[in-house]
Amino acid sequence: MKMKKRDFVGLALLAFVAACRVWTPAADFYAERCYPLISAALSWPASLVRFSLEEIVVVGFILALLAVIVRAVRRKKGFLWWLGRTARIALWVTVWFYLGWGNNYFRTPLYARLELVPAHFEAEAFGRFLSEYTEELSSCADSRKEWEPFAVEQSVKDFYADRAAACGYAPLRRWQHVKKPLLNPLYSAVSVLGWLGPFFCESQVNLEIPDLEYPFVLAHEMAHLSGVTGEGEANYWAYAFCRRSQVPAVRYSGLLFLFPYVVSNARALLPREQYEAWMAQVPQRVPDDTAALQAYWDERRVGIVGKVQHWMMDLFLRTNGISGGAQDYSGVVGIIMTMDAAAL
């Protein structure tokens, strides 16, 4: 395959992507200097339509790959011809993904940027966390929806402007709004509640999401839009937003989403008697809502598709430096305790 000028441009950009992966200062430069401008530039034209452009891009790349195969067969092209054109498509997918958002994976981790030491288990500290969490949960467990999606979105932007930006993340722009997925049944089939598209920096939230989960999931996806890569870290920022809300139903959304992780930690770390005593203090609505939400998504999940998606997500996260893989979602309790101890 004859090299073209755009191929050399693509290779130069790919070299920068590789530099970010192996040299943290390059990734920090991208995250602090480049990503805020790139995300603003990509998301502005995307804001002119209400639906997601990310799926169109993905489908477009898949069709391009199929077109190369069809052309190779019809015109009896050799393997090297097919390989060259497939490599060209893969080159631009990779460059667009990592320059659009993905290079954030390789920056200096949050704790190191803030010079924090991760909290380790101490019975007294964990007991205080449980007590505060249960008290906050009890204070809003009887709440009902009293918010509107646009108002929640604006509150999320205000929150990140005051706090997350101070931790080195990109500001959220006024034109960056949550988008409607075009292939929503697919996300429900694999229990994906929301996702961040790297090609146009668009946040998507599943259209079937219950009101109980919406505020937390919206804040989670907009954390990714701000440049947060780790799932546990995005859970932390979403929880921190909900926790500080003046709207009880929004606070409950964050506290409820955290509940399975708190239960998992409490069951593993506490003696059985203490664990059962703590569970007895939890308002009955909380485990009831948790079970109802689990049943709601189980009805929509397609088993084998979900397993394949989970395996692919786990592999993707590990490949991009998230050592916990898909389990990174569960690291939120440790982040909360660390950040609370530092009063952040």
Q: Which of 48, 76, 106 is the last residue of a domain?
A: 106
Interatomic CA distance for residues 94 and 35, integer angstroms = 16
Greater confidence, 200 or 313? 200
Q: Is residue 328 part of a domain?
A: yes
Q: What is the 8-class DSSP label of residue 166?
A: G
Q: What is the mean pLDDT of residues 137-160?
A: 92
pLDDT of residue 124: 86
Residues 131 and 268 in one domain: yes
Structural domain harbouring 87 = 5-106
pLDDT of residue 121: 76
Residues 173 and 37 in one domain: no
Q: pLDDT tens-digit profile of 57-109?
A: 999 999 998 999 888 888 888 888 888 889 999 999 999 999 999 999 999 99
Return the residue matching tokens 């995005």.
234
Residues 202 and 76 in one domain: no
Q: pLDDT tens-digit profile of 210-230?
A: 999 999 999 999 999 999 998
Q: Is residue 261 part of a domain?
A: yes
Beta strands in the chain (DSSP E): 194-197, 202-205
Residues 102 and 140 in one domain: no
* Residue 285 structure tokens: 């609505």
Q: Is residue 149 part of a domain?
A: yes
Residues 143 and 290 in one domain: yes
Q: What is the mean pLDDT of residues 122-145?
A: 91
Residues 93 and 181 in one domain: no
Interatomic CA distance for residues 153 and 245, integer angstroms = 12
Residues 211 and 336 in one domain: yes
pLDDT of residue 105: 94
Q: Is residue 112 part of a domain?
A: no
Q: Is residue 115 part of a domain?
A: no
Phi and psi of 245, rounded to 5°? -70, 150
Residues 316 and 292 in one domain: yes
Q: Chain-wide mean pLDDT for the chain?
A: 88
Residues 143 and 77 in one domain: no
Q: Which of 71, 106, 141 is the last residue of a domain?
A: 106
Interatomic CA distance for residues 132 and 126, integer angstroms = 10
Phi-psi region of 336 (alpha: psi -120 to 50; beta: other; left: phi over 0): alpha
Q: Is residue 202 part of a domain?
A: yes
Q: pLDDT tens-digit profile of 169-222?
A: 999 999 999 998 998 998 898 889 999 999 999 999 999 999 999 999 999 999
pLDDT of residue 262: 92
Positive/negative CA dihedral, 178, 179, 180, 181? negative
Residues 38 and 132 in one domain: no
Positive/negative CA dihedral, 339, 112, 233, 35? positive
Q: Which of 207, 50, 209 is nearest to 145 (CA)?
A: 209
pTM of whole model > 0.75? yes
Residues 223 and 328 in one domain: yes
Q: Are 259 and 333 in contact (CB under 8 A)?
A: no
Q: Is residue 46 part of a domain?
A: yes
Instruction: Give residue 319's pLDDT band: very low, low, confident or very high (50, 70, 90).
Output: low
Number of compact structural domains in the chain? 2
pLDDT of residue 329: 35
Residues 250 and 287 in one domain: yes
Q: Which of 73, 106, 139 is the last residue of a domain?
A: 106
Q: Is residue 157 part of a domain?
A: yes
Instruction: Give residue 307's pLDDT band: very low, low, confident or very high (50, 70, 90).
Output: low
